[in-house]
Amino acid sequence: MEKVRVLIYLVVERIEADQGLFQEIIARTDIPKRTDLGDIPRYNAPENKKELYGEQEGYCNGCGEHFQMRHLEVDHIIAETSGGTDHIENLQLLCGHCNRVKGDRGQEYLISRLNKI
């Protein structure tokens, strides 16, 4: 028991000593836009939807159900609010239900929610 108390004391002492190291960290809210991608079409451009439909063969990238192209929506894999771009590599097709469930959260959130249903 004494050994545990000594270890706790040492951990607390270390935390107190390091406390000043992280006081100057500042979180950025202005996410810089990439300039190396050139001109890319807006995410919901018809050519993006057509290309994604071909790649995904008409399947929703969430629930895996097959849909006609008109019933699928273009979605950012990484939301623009989290630094995602309109580049085709960051886009996927989701059915309306999956797109509403996902919102601006990550793909992991969507998959976890679908597994609970």
pLDDT tens per residue, range 58-108: 999 999 999 999 999 999 999 988 888 889 999 999 999 999 999 999 899
Which of residues 53 and 37 earns the better pLDDT score?
53
Q: Do 87 and 67 form a contact (C-beta atoms < 8 A)?
A: no
CA distances from 67 to 47, 60, 83 (A): 18, 7, 29
How far is Cα 18 from Cα 13, in angstroms, rounded to an integer? 9
Q: What are phi and psi of 67, to 5 degrees?
A: -140, 155
What's the DSSP call for residue 40?
-
34 by DSSP, 3-state: which?
Answer: coil
Mean pLDDT score across all residues of the chain: 85
Q: Which token pair is 76?
A: 């950012």
Q: Please state the pTM of the whole predicted model.
A: 0.65
∠ CA 66-117-53, rounded to 5°: 20
Contact 62, 95 (CB under 8 A): yes
The three-class DSSP label of residue 56 is helix
Domains of the chain: 44-116 (1.10.30.50)
